[in-house]
Amino acid sequence: MNLQRIEELIRELLIEIGEDPNREGLKKTPHRVAQLWSFLSSGYRTDPEAVLNQARFQSHGRDMVIVKNIEFYSLCEHHLLPIIGTCHVGYIPGEHVLGLSKIARLVEMYARRLQIQERLTRQIARAVERASGAAGVGVVIEARHLCMMMRGVQKQHSVTTTSTVLGLFRTDPKTREEFLRLIAPNRENA
């Protein structure tokens, strides 16, 4: 990633929208924005195997594992505006279980790319399936898209929900129902 080139492009953008990149409040903006883009796009330069970093452990059971309420931020690929959401990941281990923090790191890695929510959901599910050899995986994402809130239809309270279910989560209604019940907000999970 060429940060100097990004700084030049941001300077040009500021000029094109009618700003003076040399005024006090904007002098360091090109540098700050280049650093920001390096962070926001870091998922392109991260490998899922590196994220897992030897946090794959032999599985000794087939009980469902759920990590829910994983907060994330991404950017919509259509308008480059933020997507702010929560991800819930469940799986039934196959050969391996994954370190719990690594599931959150996989979410973060894929979110740090230009995204559409549907693809993000699938990418996370497939990565968990590959890494664990899971018998089943379920991923549900609930997110607010600033491209819908700040422009266009300007619907401030809209929430988009996407899900991907693989393996037993797709073929066994009881498994899917257990997952959905356990991630549901404001319910007794008995």
Residue ranges per domain, the chain?
A: 3-40, 54-183
The model's pTM is 0.91
Statement: residue 126 has pLDDT above 70: yes
Q: Give the tokens for residue 126.
A: 């497939």
Is 76 part of the annotated catalytic residue set?
A: yes
Which of these is catalytic: 31, 96, 147, 178?
Answer: 147
Statement: residue 140 has pLDDT above 70: yes
> Residue 189 — very low, low, confident or very high, per pLDDT cuts 50/70/90?
very low
Give the distance from CA 89 to its chain's centroid: 11
Pick the closest to residue 157 from 146, 173, 167, 166 (CA basis): 146
Is 31 part of the annotated catalytic residue set?
A: no
Is 78 part of the annotated catalytic residue set?
A: yes
Residue-wise burial string across 29-51, b where 16 or more C-beta atoms lie within 10 A, e elsewhere:
bbeebbeebeebeebeebebeeb
CATH class of 3-40: mainly alpha
**What is the CATH code for 54-183?**
3.30.1130.10
Which of these is catalytic: 79, 96, 142, 178?
Answer: 79
Is 145 part of the annotated catalytic residue set?
A: yes
Residue 49 is predicted with a pLDDT of 86
Is 79 part of the annotated catalytic residue set?
A: yes
Residue 187 is predicted with a pLDDT of 52
* pLDDT single digits (tens) 36-88: 999 999 999 999 888 887 788 888 888 999 999 999 999 999 999 999 999 99
Which of these is catalytic: 78, 95, 118, 177?
Answer: 78
Is 117 part of the annotated catalytic residue set?
A: yes
Q: What is the dihedral of CA 109, 111, 113, 114, to 10 degrees?
A: 170
Give the distance from CA 51 to its chain's centroid: 14
Q: Give the tokens for residue 104.
A: 């959150």
Which of these is catalytic: 77, 95, 118, 177?
Answer: 77
pLDDT-above-70 percentage for the chain: 97
